[in-house]
Amino acid sequence: MTEHAVAGEGPEPAGTQRAHWQQTYAAHPGMYGEQPSDPARHAAAVFHAAGARDVLELGAGHGRDALYFAREGFTVRAADFAVSGLEQLAAAARRQGVADRVTVSVLDVREPLPLPDACTDAVFAHMLLCMALSTAEIHALTAEVRRVLRPGGTFVYTVRHTGDAHFGEGLGHGDGIWEHGGFAVHFFGRELVDDLAAGWHLEEVHAFEEGALPRRLWRVTQTRPR
């Protein structure tokens, strides 16, 4: 922790992040580019190997990964709480000729997923679980993912972890959440990953780096037991 980091101070972040992301996507259309993330490429291979046909992406943003899944032949439900990102995603799906395989929906993952039980083969979430969510909210979301997955379904998610350069930097909100540059992140320790995998088959926890900082992340692959 640096001398500039202040733990436990500042406004509660979750309520402000939706507006922040909405404004960010509006100001920077396609901010992450058109190429899929490396975790999405990994997830597509895993999903294909498991015989998955449909994918739910949580925190889809402007859609670079959701569109990749659609181009790979999956039917995709793409959800995010920022309308501006989803509008860009829908427009790109039409341009790329995959609109018939992509459905977008506005969703705040702090609420129960508005989907029936066992309705999807696979769930993908790139850096969604490590947003401004409390530990209790992360557990509740993981339980919802398990509920909507079919038995044998696969969940691939990525999170920034406590080895990241921004952990302990900026404005601390408690419960592992630190805000830097306007973006609040819940940095994961390995114990939280293991806790979330209780009742699942934990297939892999893969460490990787992304971006110029670089951000340090884990890619977690786990399956719902049959």
Q: Are 196 and 138 in contact (CB under 8 A)?
A: yes
Mean pLDDT across 217-225: 98
Strands annotated E in 75-200: 75-80, 102-106, 120-126, 149-160, 171-174, 177-180, 183-186
pLDDT band at 22 (very low <50, low <70, confident <90, very high): low
pLDDT (0 to 100) of residue 81: 86
Q: Is 167 helix (H, G, I), strand (E, B) or coil?
A: coil
pLDDT digits (tens, 9 = 90+) for 82-112: 888 899 999 999 999 999 999 999 999 999 9
Give the DSSP H or E segment for 204. strand 201-210
pLDDT (0 to 100) of residue 118: 98
pLDDT digits (tens, 9 = 90+) for 102-154: 999 999 999 999 999 999 999 999 999 999 999 999 999 999 999 999 999 99
pLDDT (0 to 100) of residue 19: 53
pLDDT (0 to 100) of residue 212: 85
Cα 170 to Cα 3: distance, rounded to the nearest angstrom: 10
Q: Which residue has the higher pLDDT, 147 or 212?
A: 147
Mean pLDDT across 8-25: 52
The rounded mean pLDDT for the chain is: 89
CA dihedral 158, 164, 168, 174 (to 10 degrees): 10
Q: Is 160 helix (H, G, I), strand (E, B) or coil?
A: strand
The model's pTM is 0.87
CA dihedral 119, 206, 66, 103 (to 10 degrees): 20
Domains, the chain? 14-223 (3.40.50.150)
Q: 79: which strand partners?
A: 58, 105
Q: Is 1 helix (H, G, I), strand (E, B) or coil?
A: coil
